[in-house]
Amino acid sequence: MAKIIVVTSGKGGVGKTTTAAAFSTALALRGYKTVVIDFDVGLRNLDLVMGCERRVVYDLINVINHEGNLNQALIKDKRVENLFILPASQTRNKDALTLEGVTSVIGELKERFDFIVCDSPAGIEHGAMMAMYFADEALIVTNPEVSSVRDSDRIIGMLASKTLRAERGDAPIKEHLLVTRYVPTRVSNGDMMSAEDVQEILAVPLLGVVPESPDILRASNSGVPITLDEKSEAGQAYQDAVARFLGENRPMRFLNVKKHFFSRWFGG
């Protein structure tokens, strides 16, 4: 039976889709059969970041409406074995995500995959609720700034009250905090909240810190999940996070300002 992971944040533009793409790719690279679902109906993006936008025929809503079956809608990644993408529809709105429809799609995927990664839309409306409803674990993507932290807090509250696990009274969703777009120099200047601050306010275990990186924009624009770029620090940070997610013990990297060779030399 698959484990269902929701990638959520409340706020938009913090890196949910980047994280969903990176995380699912890294899981698949490790041999887990993984599907990543775009729940952002009407604002389809995941296919672009995954680089499969020209192969979309059927989408999640088609499957829900029985206009196509799951096999037709699932796009197999060309680079990574075991990785599949279920794209959102660009021409519908979130109301097309019916609970019955999502239930049957998730139910079918659960039999076939090890991990189901749900890329949530921003906001706290229906689309976001559907993305989190069946989750077993949640990646809370937060930028080190106050508005993102507050929105994440709101979402964490909903994970604990508006999901299937909450309604059934099952064990709560396991939450993981992922601080993205982190700039250690700005943290040490006092311009940016530290990962520690964010973690203290949200009181959720820190899974990883992803540094702000020009590689991410380049990767998104070229449709390559950042975890496929082994040289990128952001990619390595995501690899670390996935390793921790799977129970490995890895020290936190990218938290502190890198010391320049000469400053180290001169004890600066």
Residues at the site binding another protein, with contacts judged by CB under 8 A: 124, 150-151, 153-154, 156-158, 160-161, 201, 203
CB closer to another protein, 161 vs 256: 161
Using DSSP, state whether 204 is helix, strand or coil.
Answer: coil
In the numeric block, the tokens 């938290």 are attached to 255
Helix and strand counts by DSSP (H, E) for the chain: 13, 8
Rounded to an integer, what distance in angstroms lies between the CA atom of residue 208 and that of residue 14?
14
CB closer to another protein, 201 vs 255: 201
- Tell me the closest approach of the beta carbon of residue 146 to another protein, in angstroms: 9
Residue 114 is encoded by which pair of tokens?
């090890």
Rounded to an integer, what distance in angstroms lies between the CA atom of residue 68 and that of residue 86?
12
Most distant CA pair in the chain, distance: 68
Rounded to an integer, what distance in angstroms lies between the CA atom of residue 26 and that of residue 80?
9
- Tell me the closest approach of the beta carbon of residue 159 to another protein, in angstroms: 9
- Tell me the closest approach of the beta carbon of residue 9 to another protein, in angstroms: 13
CB closer to another protein, 48 vs 158: 158
CB closer to another protein, 19 vs 152: 152
- Tell me the closest approach of the beta carbon of residue 40 to another protein, in angstroms: 21
* C-alpha distances in Å from residue 137, one per residue of 25, 115, 235, 259: 17, 11, 21, 36
- Tell me the closest approach of the beta carbon of residue 92 to another protein, in angstroms: 28
Pairing mode, if any, of strands 174-182 and 75-76? unpaired
CB closer to another protein, 69 vs 161: 161
CB closer to another protein, 91 vs 161: 161
- Tell me the closest approach of the beta carbon of residue 150 to another protein, in angstroms: 5
| C-alpha closest to that of 227 among 10, 49, 44 | 49
Pairing mode, if any, of strands 75-76 and 83-86? antiparallel
